[in-house]
């Protein structure tokens, strides 16, 4: 999955902010998840392992979404202050990377295909 997954990962969350008139901002998150084809070729045991991993992977990606939501909220509160926005961007970029480092991209929270 790392070879064929989005940006070399099993899943990927992309967060976007769009600025409109003045300081109005919209936030959008898009999660790309792996899809299992030919489920019928797997044993019940392997399907259970896969399904448990998918649940854990989605929960991990939702943590990235929550970081993105908090990021967007703090940017809105900064009221277009460029210095504050630069600091906020650095803080949340670090938080996003720390989530992956702390959880080993979710492996410590169930994102694994090993029983």
33-85 residue pLDDT tens: 999 989 999 999 999 999 999 999 999 999 999 999 999 889 888 887 888 88
pLDDT at residue 80, rounded to an integer:
74
In contact, 109 and 56? CB cutoff 8 Å = yes
In contact, 92 and 77? CB cutoff 8 Å = no
pLDDT at residue 94, rounded to an integer:
95
C-alpha torsion sign, points 106, 69, 90, 6 = positive
In contact, 31 and 11? CB cutoff 8 Å = yes
Cα separation of 30 and 12, whole Å? 8
In contact, 56 and 42? CB cutoff 8 Å = no
pTM for this prediction: 0.86
What backbone torsions phi and psi does residue 75 show, to the nearest 5 degrees? -65, -45
**pLDDT exceeding 90 applies to what percent of the chain?**
62
């Amino acid at each position: 999955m790392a070879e064929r997954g989005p940006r070399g990962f099993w899943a990927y969350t992309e967060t976007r902010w769009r600025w409109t008139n003045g300081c109005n901002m919209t936030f959008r998150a898009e999660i790309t998840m792996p899809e299992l084809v030919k489920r019928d070729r797997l044993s019940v045991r392997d399907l259970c392992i896969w399904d448990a991993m998918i649940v854990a992977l989605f929960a991990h990606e939702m943590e990235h979404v929550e970081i993105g939501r908090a990021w967007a909220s703090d940017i809105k509160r900064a009221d277009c202050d460029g210095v504050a926005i630069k600091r906020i961007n650095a803080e949340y970029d670090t938080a996003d990377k720390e989530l992956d480092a702390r959880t080993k991209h979710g492996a410590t929270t169930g994102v694994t295909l090993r029983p």
